[in-house]
Structure 1
Amino acid sequence: MTFISTAQHIARISRTDRRGHLVPILLAGTIAAAAIGLVAFLLWPTWEAEVTSGPARLPVSIGGTLFNVPTAAIRMDIQRHSGPQERVDLSFSFPSLEPPEPPKHVSAGNLDVTVQPIDRIFLSIAAHHDSLAPDMRARTIYPRYLEQAPALVEDGLSMRAFRDGSPYGGEDLFSAIAPDITARCTRDAATPGTCLSERRVDGADLTFRFQRNWLAHWRDVAEAMDDLARQVHGKPSEGRGP
């Protein structure tokens, strides 16, 4: 009854006011918009898109050697498949050694809170094609370019500087025996220094990269590299070197 009364009232207004014919149109538009909004609200999907799940690990053959790598740790989409590959690049959170969380969307508003200190240890697995083994390089090549000064030893970790002008100028060589670690590191400058440590597993070389300042806890770093080597292959490495 209220709606009919309202319609009759509008009709009377429209007969007395030349602009009265606009009122029914506006009212009808308002009612239609409200109805559409209500239907859209009721029919709006409440489900969330499911993330396509795949295998947690992928078997890959690199240099004729079988590795079992965590899918979520693979850094490049093109490498995210099983079978023979020339190289696979991985990253892990440190010290948990879990695959890192997917990157969040970065905007101007959240840039300051998004940029965080690097807490990644990177691992590249590549076929070596019979190149010089990392441990042989550390024993026969690097000593030619090291400074003659005695090695500095702190907490069981020794450091020797490479000569300026050598192929490794501006870098230092760190090594220890228990646990075993050898790493070649750039020095801190405009950007923090980074370290490289290599080891061989059959037909492939494993190359680890991490921040130089982590060597303050070098035993944890050495154990993390051992754990990751076992995680992707499960076999002791043949030799280590940077």
Structure 2
Amino acid sequence: MKPGFGAVAAVPRGAASGRVAIDRRAGVAAAALFAGSLALTGLATAWMVRPPAPAQTRTVSTLSGAPLTLPAAWFVRPGAAAGATPDRLDLAIPWSALSASGGDDRLHVTATRAPDTAAPLGPARRYARFLTAEVRATPDGLMQRRFRTGSPFEGEDLYLAQPDGNRFAARCATALPDPQGACLSEVRVGDLALRVRFAEARLPFWNEALAGLERIFGRPGGAP
């Protein structure tokens, strides 16, 4: 008997099973898409809440008239830029940033605001009464002077840039447990006073180092 009005036609068994397979595949695909969206949401959330990458530079505005922006790796103590006292900054500057000679050692710099008073006596006059009469010229344009036995600076040599040491002077200990800090120099760049410690082996590069310090601390904004 043929189906008439109000009768339900029989569905072939093969067609029904085909629809079930299609529905099952669609459900699996929808579940996969839902799981993928959850994973992406989780990744996005993790990216949003993760801590920011450490800054490559730090800016210090407490010492000089213009802010100094310096590489973060130069600061001696972690967080030194944020927690530095208003009147002092401690840095360890790689020689590769100062001189073409390069090397793994560092120039240790303590920067403070230079006093507003008149500049003190030059090093040649300041140390004159403690020095022997012996003078030796070095190949790199310095004069080497020796401190007298019994003076406050016994065991040190004084190196002066010719003619009077006003551009550069350094005291170097002849015997020191830490050879990397054997020499001490005081340099003024703009409104900053720099106390610099370095190895005596670096004396031949004093001119490059001084030019590098003037470039870093004398230019607006600090290091390039």
Class of the TM-score when normalised by the shorter of the 2 chains: 0.5 to 0.7
State the 1:233 CA deviation.
2.7
Aligned residue pairs total 166
CA deviation string 1:157-214 (max 9, x = no partner): 2100111221211111112239943111111355436111112234431121100122
1:233 maps to: 218
1:184 maps onto 2:166 in alignment: no
- The residue type equivalent to 2:171 in the other structure is R
CA deviation string 1:52-111 (max 9, x = no partner): 23262413232x54351413211123531299721001111123449xxxxxxxxxxxxx
1:127 maps to: 113
Q: TM-score scaled by structure 1?
A: 0.56
Instruction: Mark the CA change 1:88 to 1:213 in structure 2 (over 3 Å): closer, same or farther.
Output: same
What SS does the corresponding residue of 1:66 show, helix, strand or coil? coil
RMSD: 3.6
- The residue type equivalent to 1:184 in the other structure is R
Separation in structure 1 between the aligned mates of residue 117 and residue 148 of structure 2, nearest angstrom: 24
Separation in structure 2 between the aligned mates of residue 83 and residue 214 of structure 1, nearest angstrom: 28
- The residue type equivalent to 1:79 in the other structure is A
Instruction: Mark the CA change 1:57 to 1:170 in structure 2 (over 3 Å): closer, same or farther.
Output: same
Assess if the C-alpha contact under 8 Å between 2:143 and 2:162 holds in 1: no
Separation in structure 2 between the aligned mates of residue 202 and residue 96 of structure 1, nearest angstrom: 20
- The residue type equivalent to 1:206 in the other structure is L
What SS does the corresponding residue of 1:77 show, helix, strand or coil? coil
Separation in structure 2 between the aligned mates of residue 160 and residue 184 of structure 1, nearest angstrom: 10
2:208 maps to: 223
- The answer to which of 119-128 and 196-205 deviates more is 196-205
Assess if the C-alpha contact under 8 Å between 1:208 and 1:225 holds in 2: no
Separation in structure 2 between the aligned mates of residue 207 and residue 80 of structure 1, nearest angstrom: 18
1:174 maps to: 159
Separation in structure 1 between the aligned mates of residue 194 and residue 177 of structure 2, nearest angstrom: 28
Instruction: Mark the CA change 1:183 to 1:83 in structure 2 (over 3 Å): closer, same or farther.
Output: closer
Assess if the C-alpha contact under 8 Å between 2:176 and 2:182 holds in 1: no
Instruction: Mark the CA change 1:83 to 1:194 in structure 2 (over 3 Å): closer, same or farther.
Output: closer
Assess if the C-alpha contact under 8 Å between 2:142 and 2:161 holds in 1: yes
Bigger Rg over Cα:
2
Separation in structure 1 between the aligned mates of residue 186 and residue 104 of structure 2, nearest angstrom: 20
What SS does the corresponding residue of 1:230 show, helix, strand or coil? helix
Assess if the C-alpha contact under 8 Å between 2:184 and 2:197 holds in 1: yes
Assess if the C-alpha contact under 8 Å between 1:93 and 1:121 holds in 2: yes
1:68 maps to: 68
Percent identity between the two aligned chains: 28
What SS does the corresponding residue of 1:61 show, helix, strand or coil? coil
Separation in structure 1 between the aligned mates of residue 186 and residue 147 of structure 2, nearest angstrom: 18
Q: Which runs of 5+ in 1 are unaligned?
A: 1-44, 99-116, 236-242
Q: TM-score scaled by structure 2?
A: 0.60
Q: Which runs of 5+ in 2 are unaligned?
A: 1-42
2:95 maps to: 94
